[in-house]
Chain A
């Protein structure tokens, strides 16, 4: 009997949880806020679903009911992607060691 592709995806899912577990424990507590903002940005990769939904409309009728939801989701996810990565970058720029101090 063939294995359902779902099982493969499920395996990826479970393994990723384990990777996440070990990677996140190694994050230094002083960077927990940037961790939250960057996880926020990367979870907005959900935009790929939004793009598929938005592009599903026909050339004559770009804004069908389902593609409208896609377009709104694109805006929401894009706010998160740009906002999330940029604010993380802004925060990380501020973390400096003693010797980096400009006098």
Chain B
């Protein structure tokens, strides 16, 4: 058994290792090393916890058995999961952190002696507040992440679910949680504690159901943030520095990502949370206009011809590429183009896909070197000097209406200037609008060629035609 002071020092060390793990992610070169720091931090935290309790009875064997059960499941998932399923995996993992926080809080409430928090029915006031906040945030994270998971997995429709008075209900429930925690502190009543958790589960569901599919990058980042705050709340209860540091790191990390995602969509955080965006609001007259406007559509042969004669091509991937799993075919196409001395780069919009960095991971999986992949602000000026923009499964992030029409719901959103390219190839299944529910005027431009097909099939056909 080691002293409380010594174990506190070790917890600090593991907190610092976690900071270094995040620091490593500043470049792909240092990132792998960073991940090892993270693993080391985790091992230290777990070993120190065993040593500080010093209870090496049969219970310990059970603890290790359960640890191995969880670890095996986790490792199995990590190796089996396809890269296209990363968004739902991350959402699923968030839900587990949330639920673990709830369960630790419950255990602490039922058996405060084990945690040095006072006696049952007489828990220290500060600890009671901390554990109920931790439990509430954890419960919101859990049920919110489950809904996000179901939406990303396609089990639940990605379209927003709204009903009258929804925001008032959320506000009311939010206030109710605080009022109940206040009474919990006065009465130490277990029933109130359970009620707080149940209401929080409900709030999590209500918070996420009105948010549409295209806003998922914000939702995932936000839930990431919540899972951090839940961990920090529990960290205060357990007076554990490692947990407090980690919770704060993860909390601010998720908050920054949410901010970046909102900025990339030119939307305020509040409007994303209030939801309803991406509902079917395409009015009658836009539908009529669509029928009248001529569209140039082509086939794989035309596309191959255009690209063969280009000297530079920029590829703009979007969620459609992920759905069609077209990244490997795309890479094959690019290899063929490179053999013909055509310069190929990739342009990635921050909100392309369903989570931050989603496209980068898929391209990396297809062995695309990361120094050929550029972010919006680094590549946007290159479109004017390029011959072909190959838009595969992206839509709203290329819509020039964001720059021209102040009435458009996406006005002001930073977009990729693909229309400045000499010609634009659009791989899309139909003319249907994207998640924002608005028409893309790019489809009707003279220099746009629409390739109506599944992204993977079309890319494979182009590859054949490039020979």
Which residues of chain A have a CB within 8 Å of any CB of chain B? 5-6, 9, 12-14, 16-17, 19-21, 23-57, 59, 62, 64-67, 69-98, 100-101
Set B35, B103, B228: member contacting A50, Cβ < 8 A: B103
Q: Are B38 and A16 in contact (CB under 8 A)?
A: no
User: In the complex the two chains form, what is the Cα distance from A49 to B89 in whole Å?
Assistant: 24
On whether A20 and B28 interact (CB within 8 A), knowing A51-B50, A72-B103, A80-B100, the answer reads no
Kindly name the residue among A14, A37, A62, A74 whose own CB sees the greatest number of chain B CB atoms within 10 A.
Answer: A74
Chain A nearest Cβ from B144, distance in angstroms: 15
Q: Are A21 and B26 in contact (CB under 8 A)?
A: no
Q: Are B66 and A71 in contact (CB under 8 A)?
A: yes
Chain A nearest Cβ from B335, distance in angstroms: 11
Which residues of chain B have a CB within 8 Å of any CB of chain A? 14-15, 18-19, 21-23, 25-28, 31-32, 34-35, 38-39, 41-42, 45-46, 49-50, 53, 55, 57-60, 62-63, 66-75, 77-79, 81, 83, 86, 89-90, 93-94, 96-97, 99-101, 103-104, 106-108, 110-111, 113-115, 126, 220-221, 224, 227-228, 231-232, 234-254, 256-257, 260, 348, 350, 355-358, 360-361, 364-365, 367, 369-373, 375
6 closest cross-chain pairs (CB), A and B: A78-B70, A32-B357, A56-B114, A83-B74, A82-B74, A53-B107
Task: Chain B residues near A95: list those with CB within 8 A.
Answer: 28, 31, 364, 370
User: In the complex the two chains form, what is the Cα distance from A14 to B218 in whole Å?
Assistant: 24
Q: Are A59 and B59 in contact (CB under 8 A)?
A: yes
Across the two chains, which residue of chain B brings its CB closest to A93? B32
7 contacting pairs across A/B (C-beta < 8 A): A14-B248, A16-B248, A23-B22, A36-B224, A40-B93, A45-B42, A71-B62
User: In the complex the two chains form, what is the Cα distance from A32 to B119 in whole Å?
Assistant: 44
Q: Are B253 and A20 in contact (CB under 8 A)?
A: yes
Chain A nearest Cβ from B372, distance in angstroms: 7
Q: Are B104 and A59 in contact (CB under 8 A)?
A: no
Task: Chain B residues near A86: list those with CB within 8 A.
Answer: 74-75, 78-79
Q: Are B104 and A49 in contact (CB under 8 A)?
A: yes
Q: Are B42 and A89 in contact (CB under 8 A)?
A: no
Q: Are B63 and A54 in contact (CB under 8 A)?
A: yes
Chain A nearest Cβ from B110, distance in angstroms: 4
Set B236, B355, B370: member contacting A97, Cβ < 8 A: B370
Task: Chain B residues near A56: list those with CB within 8 A.
Answer: 107, 111, 113-114
User: In the complex the two chains form, what is the Cα distance from A62 to B241 in whole Å?
Assistant: 28
On whether A30 and B45 interact (CB within 8 A), knowing A24-B22, A55-B59, A86-B75, the answer reads no
Set A55, A92, A98: member contacting B55, Cβ < 8 A: A55
On whether A42 and B70 interact (CB within 8 A), knowing A31-B28, A52-B115, A57-B59, the answer reads no
Task: Chain B residues near A85: list those with CB within 8 A.
Answer: 35, 38-39, 42, 78
Kindly name the residue among A33, A41, A71 whose own CB sees the greatest number of chain B CB atoms within 10 A.
Answer: A33
Across the two chains, which residue of chain B brings its CB closest to A4? B126
Task: Chain A residues near B252: list those with CB within 8 A.
Answer: 17, 20-21, 24
On whether A38 and B25 interact (CB within 8 A), knowing A33-B360, A69-B103, A96-B364, the answer reads yes
Task: Chain B residues near A83: list those with CB within 8 A.
Answer: 73-75, 77-78, 89, 93
Q: Are A77 and B244 in contact (CB under 8 A)?
A: no
On whether A53 and B71 interact (CB within 8 A), knowing A46-B97, A84-B93, the answer reads no
